[in-house]
Structure 1
Amino acid sequence: VLSTASHAGTAAHQAIAQHMLESFDHVEADLGCPPDLPFDRATARTADGPRRLAMNCSGKHAAMLAACRVNGWDERSYLDVDHPLQQRVRTTVEEYTAETVDLVGTDGCGAPVFPLTLTGLARGIAGVVARADADSAALTDAVLAHPWALDGVGRANTVTIEQLGVFAKLGAEGVMVMGLPGGAAVAVKTLDGAQRAGTLAALTLLQRNGLVTAEGVAGVMAATGEQVLGGGVPVGAVRAGAGLR
């Protein structure tokens, strides 16, 4: 699961990432992601400082290093856009999204990132959760079986998966994708880059298309929705506006 996670950096997440590294004779210093503090506030308060294992993409980087070891590719340059690993990633993205990648950026974790349309992104996620091949089926099943590993206990993606059985994954700058295994998927980009509207927006779109219930959406939002406080007490709420379509 950590190979696709933006995890909270708890001790449990870091332990799994460490195990992934050790399984292929790698060490934390081999990770190409930058040192960071955990997303999880409690863990961050007790941390001695930023470290690569705590970075939310450490599992993905550990998996990329493992892929290099298995395939005999150079491990020091695994983040180069022309590296065989990144070329394989690019080909896979193009296959699932049915879009041609013309530009390449750099993600916050240091890995190459490929600009896509929201339609292409939704198409790609729908392809993954369709479970049409052994790899996508194994990934989808693992996320549904261990939702805490994808995000973190009590966090929005994890609660969405636990309560609704919906594959949910946040991305940087206000991106959110959700998909029903064997069914449809949605992709959302919040224009201001914030995360607080992503879960509500994606779930609302699924609800409007009859894929989840209003009660289910309300339950997830009650457990995870960001409060609007004034003087320490709730004075408002985040709601879906007319512009969401």
Structure 2
Amino acid sequence: MAKVSDGAVPVMEVWRGGLLECVHQAHAVICDAKGVVAAWGNPQAVIFPRSSAKMMQALPLLETGAADARGLSQAHLALACASHRGAHVHVDLAGRWLADLGLGESDLRCGAHEPGDLTERNRLVEAHEKPCQLHNNCSGKHSGFLTVTQHLKAGPEYVEIDHPLQKAVRLATEEVTGETVAGWGVDGCSAPNFAMTVEGLARAMAKYATAREGHGAREDAMFRLTRAMAAHPHLISGEGETCTELMRAMDGRVAIKGGAEAVYVAIVPEKGFGIALKVVDGGYRASEAAVTALLAKIGVLDPAHPAAVKRMAGVQRNWRGLETGFYRMADGFPG
């Protein structure tokens, strides 16, 4: 079992005063239906996919028939895959979803945190309100979990590892990655997160990219989730965020999703490609730059688009606006 640091390669550099100040290292894999197309670093490095696994965690929502039984819209499916900013649009949709189930915020098991969206955060402060679990960036995923749990008539503690829902998620994860999970940990939202190789994660995303309607429940589910994400980029993260901006820049042709500790995946149906990457030190600026560079390399993102330019290279400035250095992609990535 390869450690996350084994064989990583430089992907991004930060310079100050003419000296190299920081180097971010990573693993990245591009797969198609047949296997690995290109790789940097060690494809067998074992990682926690964190929130980049949400499309796999949402498979039971469709495969059990729970989504259709409840008449969920494409927007609901997108929110189930989201790591959102807790803006009004996110909180409102999650709240109405739970109400339609006859449930409430207290039925969630994700915990509460301040919203990343400044407008909503300011509203809470001015109204002397505390954030609730609907503001949690995973409240859409958990609303999906509750939909399946209710459909299966299972117990309310749906984040427990031996709950029928999590057993279904684990089975689906192993089937789409093509490997036995390497272990599991508890994610920030309290749900189990199953470890896998970077290659396994890319292989799974390639299956989403090549899924077609009318070819069984699994392919139907993958097809619908991918299209839902691409059609509703504002629900996947939020205004100003990388997932939202890059999906808009690609006009809904690609679905991308980040995860905590600098994991990123992309689903590219027109190429039949799945992309997965992990920056070893957990640096978000590097994971955002790396996924942008890979999307540009395979020809689905214009490297001159403002959303791409600001992530792959730029000037660093201090609080007085003085230029202090710059950042850029490392030589050879993506070569």
Same fold flag (TM > 0.5): yes
**Matches for 1:113-124 after TM superposition, within 5 Å:** 113-124=193-204
Structure-2 residue corresponding to 1:41 = 118
More strand by share: 2
CA distance in 1, matches of 2:322, 2:227: 38
| Contact 2:290–2:312, Cα closer than 8 Å, also in 1 | no
Q: Which amino acid aligns with 1:230?
A: N
- Structure 1 residues 45, 224: closer, same or farther in 2, change over 3 A? farther
| Contact 2:245–2:307, Cα closer than 8 Å, also in 1 | no
The yes-or-no answer on 1:16 pairing with 2:93 is yes
| Contact 1:9–1:53, Cα closer than 8 Å, also in 2 | yes
Query: Any unmatched runs of 5+ in structure 1?
Result: none
Q: Which amino acid aligns with 1:148?
A: H
- Give aligned-pair identity as a percent: 33
- Structure 1 residues 227, 188: closer, same or farther in 2, change over 3 A? farther
Q: Which amino acid aligns with 2:84?
A: H
More helix by share: 1
Match of 2:257, SS? Answer: strand
CA distance in 2, matches of 1:168, 1:107: 20
CA distance in 1, matches of 2:320, 2:256: 30
- Structure 1 residues 130, 225: closer, same or farther in 2, change over 3 A? farther
Correspondence for 1:187 among 261, 267, 276:
276
Structure-2 residue corresponding to 1:104 = 184
Structure-2 residue corresponding to 1:64 = 145
Query: Any unmatched runs of 5+ in structure 2?
Result: 1-77, 213-218
State the Cα deviation string for residues 98-144 of structure 1 (Å, max 9, x = none).
11014111000000000111111111122123233211111111111
If asked which structure has higher relative contact order (CA below 8 Å, sep 6+), I would say: 2
The structure having more radius of gyration, on CA atoms, is: 2
Structure-1 residue corresponding to 2:158 = 78
State the Cα deviation string for residues 2-44 of structure 1 (Å, max 9, x = none).
1110011001100011111112111000000011111223322
TM-score with structure 1 length normalisation? 0.91
Correspondence for 1:201 among 283, 290, 309:
290
TM-score with structure 2 length normalisation? 0.68
Structure-2 residue corresponding to 1:177 = 265
| Contact 1:106–1:112, Cα closer than 8 Å, also in 2 | yes
Q: Larger deviation: 4-13 or 203-212? A: 203-212
Deviation (angstroms), 1:224: 10
Alignment length (residue pairs): 243
Structure-2 residue corresponding to 1:147 = 233
| Contact 2:289–2:311, Cα closer than 8 Å, also in 1 | no
| Contact 1:188–1:198, Cα closer than 8 Å, also in 2 | yes
Q: Which amino acid aligns with 1:231?
A: W
CA distance in 2, matches of 1:205, 1:113: 25
Q: What is the aligned-residue RMSD (CA, Å)?
A: 2.1
